[in-house]
């Protein structure tokens, strides 16, 4: 059995949907994970934001946009009136839900329910399209098996049990569809796996069914060596290790959800990223295997805050860092990067929800300085050999960019740097120049 995931970009219009579905080999056993149609989750997010701002006119426009998009996809994809009616019913259910919230504040439970509509609708419409073409297909509702535990992590044991009982309902069937992104939490309420979470759905399913492969189909020929949104002439990486891909995904490579590597890695399942619009390209294979390269890829993560705590009490003391980290633990705020000196410690976080409270508590330990609007630049490569020369090369290249923090040494595949957000694009481009400079690379390797 293999898992195939089509992202929103692969199902952006009815023609693309037909192309995406033509990629599936119906003679093999497949579970196909579907995102919402392109742009739908973003529109639902905007609907929620404007409802909470009491901007009801904008809410109505967003609702209309969602309704029109799904109705037009339905009309273009489906022919029989009875099947079209089923799709239109599902659309009007979702639209009624939105209407209920147009003039109300939306709490976090309702928010999750609203966000789920994108994946509920896309999977249903595509399922009906395949049914109409007389393809033997079953729709497995993700809300029936995708569960989070009380720590908000996927409950793999329960997911495995529930998914296998869903699959047992259709012994003859070889093609299954399911909704990406959405799940239920340990309180049995609708929840989700975070933005871009359909990748994570695919690898979680891959893990629990021990799939032969998980394929992520998107709008680009694989994982590129730099962010194509900000740098020209980036190239697809053909082979990359799970650990390298994990660093890149965590530090901003939007093509993969940051948590999506782990379920594939722990079951040693290859993860292949491919382009729906160029299916013959071999894409990127993520596995244990990698091709070592001095600098392999660069990514950037936005909306970072740096927090520096300076205290004489740190000098020759033990237990100071524990006290600092207990504060982050209390506010469930993960620390991404860390550097220390004898009298100070600097950290980065990517979630400012509790920043004020964290600051107040840290002030009991020392002087606190905070800078928001920073970016982490992550350079992934082979830093096990000749790393002095490579670090020198990177720092020399960035001589005109004020670097706020550097982290190196925790693993030999990653150097992370913090720069002001306004310097991000320039930093990515300067580093790309080094990456392209094969002379330097061959000299170093
Ligand atoms: P999908 O809808 O298929 O999930 P996403 O928009 O989530 O697609 O991810 C694909 C996009 O990720 C690409 O179009 C590209 O702009 C962006 N991206 C950012 N960093 C990278 C990278 N290192 N390699 C490839 N794509 C990247
Ligand atoms: N539709 C969700 C999002 O846009 C999940 C996904 O596409 O992976 O974030
Ligand atoms: Mg995505």
User: Same domain, yes or no, for 335 and 422?
Assistant: yes
The pLDDT of residue 390: 84
Q: Does residue 202 have its Cβ closer than 6 Å to ligand 2?
A: no
User: Same domain, yes or no, for 310 and 436?
Assistant: yes
- Please state the atom number of ligand 1 nearest to the C-alpha of residue 8: 2
Distance from the alpha carbon of residue 258 to the mean position of ligand 1, in angstroms = 12
Residue 122 lies in a domain: yes
- pLDDT at residue 438 is higher than 90: no
Distance from the alpha carbon of residue 275 to the mean position of ligand 3, in angstroms = 13
- Number of separate domains in the chain: 2
Q: What is the mean pLDDT of the chain?
A: 94
pLDDT tens per residue, range 19-59: 999 999 999 999 999 999 999 999 999 999 999 998 999 99
Q: How confident is the model at residue 91 (pLDDT cuts 50, 70, 90)?
A: very high
The mean pLDDT value for 161-185 works out to 96
Query: Residue 177 has which token pair?
Result: 């569809």
Q: Does residue 12 have its Cβ closer than 6 Å to ligand 1?
A: no
pLDDT tens per residue, range 100-109: 998 888 999 9
pLDDT tens per residue, range 251-304: 999 999 999 999 999 999 999 999 999 999 999 999 999 888 888 999 999 999
pLDDT tens per residue, range 113-169: 999 999 999 999 999 999 999 999 999 999 999 999 999 999 999 999 999 999 999
User: Same domain, yes or no, for 304 and 427?
Assistant: yes
Residue that finishes a domain, picked among 172, 188, 219:
219
- Please state the atom number of ligand 2 nearest to the C-alpha of residue 7: 7
The pLDDT of residue 388: 76
Distance from the alpha carbon of residue 36 to the mean position of ligand 3, in angstroms = 10
Q: Does residue 255 have its Cβ closer than 6 Å to ligand 1?
A: yes
The pLDDT of residue 445: 45
Percent of the chain with pLDDT over 70: 98
Q: Does residue 35 have its Cβ closer than 6 Å to ligand 2?
A: yes
CATH number at residue 122: 3.40.1160.10
The pLDDT of residue 434: 86
- Domain encompassing residue 8: 2-219
The pLDDT of residue 386: 65
Percent of the chain with pLDDT over 90: 87
Residue 273 lies in a domain: no
Burial class (CB in 10 A: 0-12, 13-18, 19+), 29: middle
Greater pLDDT, 443 or 121: 121
Q: Does residue 227 have its Cβ closer than 6 Å to ligand 1?
A: yes
- pLDDT at residue 110 is higher than 70: yes
User: Same domain, yes or no, for 305 and 163?
Assistant: no
- pLDDT at residue 317 is higher than 90: no
The pLDDT of residue 439: 46
Residue 232 lies in a domain: no
Residue 276 lies in a domain: no
User: Same domain, yes or no, for 79 and 187?
Assistant: yes
The mean pLDDT value for 180-199 works out to 97
Distance from the alpha carbon of residue 93 to the mean position of ligand 2, in angstroms = 20
- Give nearest CA residue, ligand 1 atom 26: 255
CA-to-CA dists, residue 315 to 221, 311, 320, 327, 344, angstroms: 51, 8, 9, 20, 9
Q: In this predicted structure, which of 147-151, 311-315, 334-338 has the lowest mean pLDDT?
A: 311-315
Q: How confident is the model at residue 391 (pLDDT cuts 50, 70, 90)?
A: confident
Residue 271 lies in a domain: no
N-terminal to C-terminal alpha carbon distance within the chain: 39
CATH number at residue 349: 3.30.2130.10
Residue 390 lies in a domain: yes
- pLDDT at residue 444 is higher than 90: no
- Please state the atom number of ligand 1 nearest to the C-alpha of residue 252: 20
pLDDT tens per residue, range 399-408: 999 999 999 8
- pLDDT at residue 337 is higher than 50: yes
Residue that finishes a domain, picked among 201, 219, 237:
219
pTM exceeding the 0.75 threshold for the entire prediction: yes
The pLDDT of residue 16: 96
Residue 255 lies in a domain: no
The mean pLDDT value for 423-433 works out to 96
Residue 21 lies in a domain: yes
Question: Which of the listed residues 48, 197, 218, 254 should we mutate to test ligand 2's pocket, taking the one with most ligand atoms within 8 A of CB?
Answer: 197
Distance from the alpha carbon of residue 254 to the mean position of ligand 1, in angstroms = 5
Residue that finishes a domain, picked among 194, 219, 244:
219
User: Same domain, yes or no, for 205 and 333?
Assistant: no
User: Same domain, yes or no, for 199 and 80?
Assistant: yes
User: Same domain, yes or no, for 184 and 307?
Assistant: no
């Amino acid at each position: 059995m293999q898992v195939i995931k089509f992202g929103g970009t692969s199902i952006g219009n009815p023609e693309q949907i037909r192309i995406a579905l033509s990629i599936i080999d119906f003679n093999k056993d497949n579970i196909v994970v579907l995102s919402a149609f392109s742009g739908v989750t973003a529109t639902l997010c905007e609907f929620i934001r404007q409802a909470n701002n009491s901007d009801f006119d904008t809410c109505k426009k967003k609702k209309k946009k969602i309704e029109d998009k799904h109705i037009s996809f339905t009309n273009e994809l489906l022919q029989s009136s009875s099947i079209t009616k089923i799709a239109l019913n599902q659309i009007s259910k979702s639209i009624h839900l939105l209407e209920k919230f147009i003039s109300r504040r939306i709490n976090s439970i309702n928010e999750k329910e609203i966000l789920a509509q994108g994946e509920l609708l896309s999977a249903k419409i595509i399922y009906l399209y395949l049914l109409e073409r007389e393809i033997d297909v079953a729709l497995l509702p993700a809300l029936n098996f995708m569960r989070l535990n009380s720590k908000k992590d996927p409950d793999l044991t329960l997911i495995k049990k529930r998914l296998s009982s869903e699959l047992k309902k259709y012994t003859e069937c070889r093609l299954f569809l399911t909704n990406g992104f959405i799940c239920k939490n340990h309180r049995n309420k609708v929840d989700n796996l975070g933005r871009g979470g359909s990748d994570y759905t695919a690898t979680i399913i891959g893990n629990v069914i021990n799939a032969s492969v998980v394929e992520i189909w998107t709008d680009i020929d694989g994982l590129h060596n730099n962010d194509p949104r900000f740098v020209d002439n980036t190239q697809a990486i053909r082979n990359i290790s799970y650990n390298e891909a994990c660093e890149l995904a965590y530090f901003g490579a939007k093509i993969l959800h940051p948590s999506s590597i782990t379920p594939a890695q722990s079951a040693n399942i290859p993860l292949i990223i491919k382009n729906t619009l160029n299916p013959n390209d071999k894409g990127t294979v993520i596995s244990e295997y990698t091709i070592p390269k001095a600098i392999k890829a660069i990514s950037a993560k936005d909306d970072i805050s740096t927090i520096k705590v300076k205290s004489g009490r740190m000098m020759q003391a033990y237990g100071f860092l524990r006290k600092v980290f207990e504060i982050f633990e209390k506010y469930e705020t993960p620390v991404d990067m860390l550097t220390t000196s004898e009298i100070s410690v600097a950290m980065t976080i990517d979630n400012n929800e509790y920043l004020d409270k964290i600051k107040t508590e840290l002030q009991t330990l020392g002087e606190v300085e905070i800078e928001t609007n920073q970016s982490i630049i992550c350079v992934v490569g082979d830093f096990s050999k000749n790393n002095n020369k490579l670090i020198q090369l990177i720092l020399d290249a960035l001589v005109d960019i004020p670097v706020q923090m550097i982290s190196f040494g925790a693993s030999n595949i990653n150097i992370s740097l913090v720069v002001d957000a306004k310097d991000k694009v320039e930093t990515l481009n300067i580093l790309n120049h080094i990456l392209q400079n094969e002379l330097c690379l061959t000299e170093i390797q």
